[in-house]
Amino acid sequence: MESLVRHCLVLDLKENPELIAEYEAYHRRVWPEVIQQIRDAGIVRMEIYRVANRLCMVMEVNASFSFERKAALDEANPRVVAWEDLMWKYQQALPFASKGEKWMLMDKIFDLDEHAGLPEGSAK
């Protein structure tokens, strides 16, 4: 079985219920070219979760994936560029993001598997 790596990224939506509803509607019918590009980049699984206006994207990627390769593929695909431009109508950078930065990679701070075999309530 192929070994996958998980990445979690975060981004905000504009605080507007109508825009949030439109954003979610687009994600129920993502353009086929965008879906294909995601797969071509080495992303095997992708989910996006929302609470209020904050989004969390969970990606599981194979060994062919890199953020640099994904960015290059995206820039070379006019339909993906159009999708990203459209999505920016709904999205906004996190307050601490660098200029031009959208989805920000999160740091993993806990993994239950690292505590395997420990009795409940004990420290590692």
CATH T-level topology, domain 5-94: Alpha-Beta Plaits (3.30.70)
- pTM for the model stands at 0.88
Of the CA atoms within 13 Å of residue 39, those in its CB half-sphere come to 6
| pLDDT score for 115 | 87
Domain boundaries, the chain: 5-94
CB 57 within 8 Å of CB 47: yes
Q: At what angle do helices 32-40 and 78-87 cross, to 10 degrees?
A: 110
pLDDT digits (tens, 9 = 90+) for 43-80: 999 999 999 999 999 999 999 999 999 999 999 999 99
In the block, tokens 């993001």 appear at 97
State the Cα–Cα distance between residues 58 and 45, nearest whole angstrom: 8
Give the pLDDT of residue 69: 97
Closest CA to 11 of 81, 85, 106: 106
Mean pLDDT of 84-94: 97
Handedness of CA 46, 85, 78, 70 (dihedral sign): negative
Tens-place pLDDT, residues 109-124: 999 988 887 666 665 5
